Structure 1
C-alpha cells in the first residue's frame, strides 16, 4: 500500500504542489487562475488524481495496483471521518469546506482508476465512456464545486467538461499510454480506419493513422467547445481553472494536428510561456 512520506503538517501543501503542479506544467498555470484561497484545495485534488494515475501506470503487477487502490478507498473513508494519514488526504481535509460531502466523488475517482487494472482496451466508445465518466467527469465535478457559486448544479454541466478533457488527453498521451500497455482508442474505431494496435505500439505512422487521429482530435475539440459553451453564465467567472485547462487542451490539439499527429514517439507539448498566456487569457474571457 502507499507509504506516506514523513512530512510535517506545514509541508502537506508543498507535497501536493510538487506532486500535482510542477512549475511549467499545464496544471500549474491552470491552478494559478483560481482564487488564491481555493488554490490549496484544488492543488490537493490534482495531487490525489496524480497519485492514482501513478498507482495504475507505474505498477506492473495488477495485484499490487489493486492493493494500493484498495488502500486509497479506505483512505477516502478515513479522510471523510477526519482521520487522514497521507499528505494529500491531510491537505484535502484541511482545505475542503465539507470533506464528508466530497468523499463519494473521490471514491468514484478511485473506482475509475481501478478500471485501468481490469481493462486495457475498449471495444467501442460507449464502453470507454464509462471509464471517462468516472475518471474525467467525476474529477471535473469536484474541481467545479471548489469554486462554484452554486455547487448543487455543478453535476449538470461539469462532467461534460471533464470527459472532453480526457478525450484530449488520450490524443496527446497515445504513445505514452501504449508504452504502458493501454490504448484508449476504441477497437471498433481502429478497425474502421484500418489501424492495428501493433502499429500504435510499434510507432508506425501511416495515412490511415493520420485519418484516425484527425477523427479523434475533431471529436475532442468539438466536445471541449460544447462543454465550455454549456457552462452557465453565472459560473463562467468562477471556473477559471477548468476554462484554462480547456483552452490549453484546445491549443494543444491544434498543435498536434499541425504536426500531423506525431504522438507515438514523442509527447507534444506547449511551451511554458504559451501555456501562461493561454491560461491567463482564457480565465479572463467572458
Structure 2
C-alpha cells in the first residue's frame, strides 16, 4: 500500500462529509487534499480515542516531531510520506500543520471556553487553518480567497459544535461559551444532563445565527474568478448548511441525538453543487 493509498482509505473510512467534496477533483489535487485530511484525522483520533491525557499529549508531540521530519523529507508515517509529496507541490506550510496540532492539544487541557474570543482561537486552529491549506491545494488567483477560506472554516467548526453538543457533553466537554450560557440562563449541568428547554433552544438559535453569519461572510469574500477552483469548499458549505438548517428545523434536538445526512443525500448535494459551479 502506498502512502497515498493509506490516506485514501483513511478518508473513505471516516464517513465524513468532507470526503464527498473531494470526489470530483483531478487526481493530483485529490491526492493532496486526501493527505491533508488524513493528517487531520490522525491527530484528531489521538484526542478522541486516547483515554489517558498524558499518553495523548505524548502522541501529539510525536506528530509534531513527524511534521519536522516532513519538512526535512525524512517522514516515517504513511501520512507523513504523503505530506512530503504534496507539501512541495502545493505550498503547505509545516507551521500551519503544527498549528492544527496545537488546536488538538487544546482539547486535552480545556473543556470550557469563557467567551467566544477563546472559542474562536480553537476554531481557527482546528478548522480555519485547514481551510487555508485546502485553499492552497484547490488553487486561487486572488488572495481574498484566503479570507473566504478562513471564515468558511469557522462556519464549519461552529456547525460541528452545534451538531455535537450532546456527544461532546458525554465526554465532559462544553464548547458553547460560558458567557453565552449565562446570557441565556442555561446552566452547564442542564447540558451535561441533556435537559432540553426553551432557554436551551434560545441559546442554540444564537449559536446558529453566529454560524450563518460566518457562512455569509465567507461567501461574500470569495472572488468570482476563484469560484470554480474552490468548488470543493462550496460543496462542503452546501452540505454543512443543509445539515445546520435541518438541526434548526428540528428545534435543536442535539442533546440526545446526532443529526446527519445520508450518504446518498450528500452525494446528490455534492454533484449538484459541482456542476452548478
On whether the aligned pair clears a TM of 0.5, the verdict is yes
1:14 deviation in Å? Answer: 2.7
Q: CA RMSD in A?
A: 1.9
Quick one: structure 1 residues 100 and 237, their matched pair in 2 at CA, closer, same or farther if it must change by over 3 Å?
closer
1:91 matched residue in structure 2? 82
2:129 matched residue in structure 1? 138
Gaps of 5+ in 2: none
1:75 deviation in Å? Answer: 0.5
Secondary structure of 2:257's counterpart equals coil
1:123 deviation in Å? Answer: 0.2
| Partner deviation per Cα, 1:250-276 (whole Å, 9 max, x = no partner) | 000111111111111111101112111
Quick one: structure 1 residues 34 and 228, their matched pair in 2 at CA, closer, same or farther if it must change by over 3 Å?
farther
User: Given the alignment, which residue of 148, 166, 169 partners 1:175?
Assistant: 166
| Partner deviation per Cα, 1:102-132 (whole Å, 9 max, x = no partner) | 2111011111111111211000001111111
1:83 deviation in Å? Answer: 0.8
Secondary structure of 2:88's counterpart equals coil
Asked if 2 retains the 8 angstrom alpha-carbon contact of 1:34 and 1:239, the reply is no
Secondary structure of 2:251's counterpart equals coil
Normalization by structure 1: what TM-score?
0.91
1:238 deviation in Å? Answer: 0.6
Q: Distance in 2 between matches of 1:83 and 1:226?
A: 40
Asked if 2 retains the 8 angstrom alpha-carbon contact of 1:73 and 1:107, the reply is yes
Q: Distance in 2 between matches of 1:85 and 1:228?
A: 39
User: Given the alignment, which residue of 216, 220, 233 partners 1:225?
Assistant: 216
- Mapping of 1:35-184 within 5 angstroms? 35-98=26-89, 101-150=92-141, 154-184=145-175
Secondary structure of 2:223's counterpart equals coil
Q: Distance in 1 between matches of 2:189 and 2:12?
A: 33
Q: Distance in 1 between matches of 2:15 and 2:126?
A: 24
Asked if 1 retains the 8 angstrom alpha-carbon contact of 2:231 and 2:274, the reply is yes
2:13 matched residue in structure 1? 22
Return 21-30 or 218-227, whichever deviates more.
Answer: 21-30
Secondary structure of 1:34's counterpart equals coil
Asked if 1 retains the 8 angstrom alpha-carbon contact of 2:92 and 2:136, the reply is no
Q: Distance in 1 between matches of 2:4 and 2:16?
A: 17
Gaps of 5+ in 1: 1-7
1:201 matched residue in structure 2? 192
Quick one: structure 1 residues 225 and 161, their matched pair in 2 at CA, closer, same or farther if it must change by over 3 Å?
same
